[in-house]
Amino acid sequence: MIRPSVRLLSAAALIALFVPVFQAAAQQHVPPAPDASAPQQAPDASRMPAMEPSAPAPSAAPTFPKPNPADFTAATPTKDTIDAFLTANWGFDENRVWQVQAIMKTPVENVTKVVVYIGDKTGKEKPGAFAFFVLPDGKHIISGDNIINFGDHPFAEVRDKMQQHADGPYRGSAAKDLELVEFADFQCPHCKEAQANMEKLVADFPKAHIVFQSFPIAAIHPASVQAAEYGLCVNKMGGSTAFFQFAAAVFDGQDGLATPDGAALTLNSAVIKAGLDPAKVSACAATPEIKAAVDTSVKLGTDVGINSVPTLVVDGREIPIAQVPYDFLKKIVEFQAKLDGVSLQ
């Protein structure tokens, strides 16, 4: 579910983190690979060879045009930094191949244009080209209408923020070496659907610190804030075990949140299933402390650019989990752990 009070991204843009599988545009932390269904051409056709956009889909790994030294006019970023950035984003896909084709100065001082050719080892995808602009700070790029963290370790900043500030109820390890933070809204249907994948992650990654971070979207889901408040109180009174019993019951009875009376019944029933007193939880949920805690949880998400739910942040890497098959999601988590030097054994 997209948060309406911030910049909107389409569903296709969210899926695009997984370009090798879904053939879509880009998610927030990944520059868009070309749409395999559309003709492709290098962004600066007057200076670089096109990738034969009208040719049929190849049956073998692509052969990219040899880079022209005249197209490497900017000193920064280096090719090594660009390759590290793309590896961090796409390295989970063993079939993904690319070539840095240009690192060019632009008319704007210290803004660099980077052109990359991209393809697939199996030859199932038509190769193409895309461009992005590196900003003067060297830490961000503009790709399409998105500003994206850039560098050798593009997810490190968000990872640090999650480790410091993601304080929701958790399952798994108390250590945060591998931290998975789920931003979710109790009234969001896609968040309900994502819980099956979350349960599998809990089972498959016992050494991960898996956090539920409330991200209610009141403009769309009027009962979501109250549900989040109840959840924080259940966690406060009964701990993480009680919280996840409560959360499962709320998601199971999600349709009941559609009306005020139904929401009260649904939340109170979930509190009872968690082994707590609904009257005490209700009184707790009405306190300024709890309301401020919900606001803080939402602010943590918006501060790192999250604008839709459910989003899973894996060591700083944001994944739109409602749109990802579990086997693929597991592969991403394993890759990110390896990238961060975290042992899963």
Lookup: tokens for 235: 């966690």
| CA gap 204, 208 in Å, rounded | 9
Give the pLDDT confidence score for residue 56 in this predicted structure.
52
Segments of the chain assigned E as strands: 96-105, 112-120, 128-134, 140-143, 146-149, 170-172, 179-184, 209-214, 311-314, 317-319
Looking at residue 57, its pLDDT comes to: 52
* Distance from C-alpha of 133 to C-alpha of 116, rounded to nearest angstrom: 11
pLDDT of residue 252: 98
Tell me the whole-structure pTM to 2 decimals: 0.82
As a whole number of angstroms, the distance between CA 72 and CA 90 comes to 23
The helix/strand count (H/E) of the chain reads as 10, 10
Note whether 170 and 208 are within 8 A (CB).
no
pLDDT in tens, 274-305: 999 999 999 999 999 999 999 999 999 999 99
Q: What is the pLDDT of residue 125?
A: 81
Distance CA 114, CA 131 (A): 5
> What per-residue confidence (pLDDT) applies to 145?
86
Whole-number Å distance between alpha carbons of 84 and 339: 11
| CA distance linking residue 229 with residue 240, whole number of Å | 15
Pairing, β 179-184 against β 209-214: parallel
pLDDT digits 0-9 by tens, 221-230:
999 999 999 9
How many angstroms separate the CA atoms of 132 and 116, rounded?
9
**DSSP symbol at 35:** P
Count CB-CB contacts under 10 A for residue 13: 21
- The answer to whether residue 32 scores a pLDDT higher than 50 is no
Q: Which tens digit of pLDDT belongs to each residue from 14-25? A: 334 333 333 232
pLDDT of residue 58: 53
CB atoms within 10 A of CB 345: 3
Query: What domains can you pick out in the chain, each with its CATH number?
Result: 30-151 (no CATH), 157-339 (3.40.30.10)
Assign residue 316 a region (left: φ > 0; alpha: ψ between -120 and 50; beta: otherwise). left
